[in-house]
Amino acid sequence: MRLSNPAKLIISLSIPLAAGLIGSLFTMPVIDTWYASLNKPFFNPPSWIFAPVWTILYIMMGIAAFLVWKKSAWGWKDNQIAVALLIFDIQLMLNLLWSVLFFAWGSPFFAFLEILLLLFFILFTIIKFKKIDIRAAYLMIPYLVWVMFATVLNYGIWVLN
């Protein structure tokens, strides 16, 4: 089935935003309890900053995926695009898994190990996206930088607790 570009855009935006919403279901219940009780590095941002930053990043990720997907005249049939979007999907699942490990399981250690894998897949996504649409790769860079910061923050929380 061939989809129009507006349909692809809606789907491309909806998937990362849905992942963020699902991740928040694991995050929100422990923000004022378990997370509030943790020792955090001095550079830990206030909790309210995370939701708007992540929302913007998920929108940028969705636009990036759309730019790649719309390059395919046949939807998912183009192998290079299919591989790039599969890698994007993997990093998105790893993004969601981090919320489960860190917040639902309360394990900064396992979340730290997992976020290292997430960083690899974000970089891999950027490399694959760059071959298809440079704008898509650039749209993923703020996400990469934020997850690098989150990695340092995650490590600090693990060490301090």
Q: Could you tell me the two tokens for 155?
A: 């490590």
Taking residue 72's Cβ as centre, other Cβ atoms within 10 Å add up to 19
What per-residue confidence (pLDDT) applies to 3?
A: 74
Q: Which domains, and CATH codes, for the chain?
A: 5-160 (1.20.1260.100)
Q: How far apart are CA 85 and CA 77, in angstroms?
A: 12
- CA 20 from centroid of its chain's CA atoms: 8
Q: Which of 58, 67, 69 is nearest to 16 (CA)?
A: 58
Encode pLDDT of 7-57 as tens digits. 999 999 999 999 999 999 999 999 999 999 999 999 999 999 999 999 999
The answer, yes or no, to whether residue 73 has pLDDT greater than 90, is: no
User: For the segment 127-155, what is each residue's pLDDT rounded down to a tens digit?
Assistant: 999 999 999 999 999 999 999 999 999 99
How large is the average pLDDT for residues 86-99? 98
**Averaged over 74-92, what is the pLDDT?**
87
Average pLDDT of the segment spanning 65-93: 88
